[in-house]
Structure 1
Amino acid sequence: MSQRRRAREVALQVLFEDDVNTRATSAEMESFLRGRLRNRGMEQFSLDLILGTRRNLSAIDLRLGEVAANWSLKRMAGVDRNVLRLAAYEILFAGTPFRVAVNEAIELAKRFGSAQSGAFVNGILDRLKPEVEGQPAPGMKKAEA
């Protein structure tokens, strides 16, 4: 497993925990990252993913809600929801290449989610592709884009 994938796994764990019980202090979170990753560069990468996702959570949730036809974020499994949030952050805000973010998200969903999680995550993230390529996403009018 690549170091960056491992850093994404740890970021996913923190984001998943945010849904249930946010860590009390950033020192606790940084200690968690240090204990799991033991690599300063990957700790920083994971921290950037976590903080970026948190900082843009409202915009990410809004965008995912728009492309997740017939699914509200509340109805999604916690793992799937947080894999989607992490990937959407990377795609929309962090400049990660679309294919890389989607492939990593699918692998995370397969590892931590249900048997259907990989396909579910892939289907929703695929609806972000036109937006990333400068085209309106399915269901959006040209003026909204």
Structure 2
Amino acid sequence: MNRKKSREVAMKLLFEISINKNSISDTIEHYKENNEIENLDFEYIERILRGIDENMEYIDSKIEESSKKWKISRISKINITILRMAAYEIFFEKDIPCKVSANEAVELAKSYAEENSFSFVNGVIGNLINSSEEK
């Protein structure tokens, strides 16, 4: 199964959920019905989506602490989506190395976010990793 592609799909679905407010189950089912799903790890995708949903308050507080003077409401929807995924992986998916989460998030930002957003995303994730190591 392709983890990189699964992470990208999870990001797209999380972004979609943040916009249209559909349930995780409905969003995943709709995706499966309308897209090529071979080589995707839907167990991982669903775990990420549900984990973020269940831990949103904690994740957002960590992002706000790590984004120095940026309130969640000021961060673009795509950037906050990418940051939430990275934060979830850093704090809750201990089998995924922090450097992998950071690199994948920066690559997603380069592909999907505003032109120079990847440097902001990289800085926040660096702070998140430092915060996770202080525990």
TM-score (norm 1): 0.82
Provide, for residues 109-134 of structure 1, a one-character-per-residue CA deviation record: whole Å limited to 9, x for no partner.
Answer: 1110011111110000100222222x
Give the AA of the match of 2:21: T
Does the 8 Å contact 2:17/2:23 carry over to 1? Answer: no
What is the CA RMSD across the aligned residues, in angstroms? 2.0
Equivalent pairs counted in the alignment come to 134
Provide, for residues 91-116 of structure 1, a one-character-per-residue CA deviation record: whole Å limited to 9, x for no partner.
Answer: 00111211000000001111100111
Partner of 2:5: 6
- Find the aligned partners of 1:89 and 1:36 in 2 and give their Cα distance: 25
- Find the aligned partners of 1:91 and 1:35 in 2 and give their Cα distance: 31
Provide, for residues 22-67 of structure 1, a one-character-per-residue CA deviation record: whole Å limited to 9, x for no partner.
Answer: 2246144234146445237612211111111111111100111111
Change (3 A) 1:75 1:116: same
Misfit runs of 4+, over 4 Å: none
- Find the aligned partners of 1:125 and 1:108 in 2 and give their Cα distance: 13
Does the 8 Å contact 2:102/2:125 carry over to 1? Answer: yes
Q: Are 1:123 and 2:123 an aligned pair?
A: yes
- Find the aligned partners of 1:52 and 1:107 in 2 and give their Cα distance: 22
Which structure 1 residue ranges, 5 or more long, are not aligned? 136-144
- Find the aligned partners of 1:25 and 1:129 in 2 and give their Cα distance: 27
**Secondary structure in 2 aligned to 1:128?**
helix
TM-score (norm 2): 0.88
- Find the aligned partners of 1:72 and 1:33 in 2 and give their Cα distance: 34
State the Cα distance separating 1:69 from its structure 2 match. Answer: 0.5
Which structure 2 residue ranges, 5 or more long, are not aligned? none
Change (3 A) 1:56 1:38: same
State the Cα distance separating 1:14 from its structure 2 match. Answer: 1.4
The higher radius of gyration belongs to 1
Report which stretch shifted further, 102-111 or 9-18: 9-18
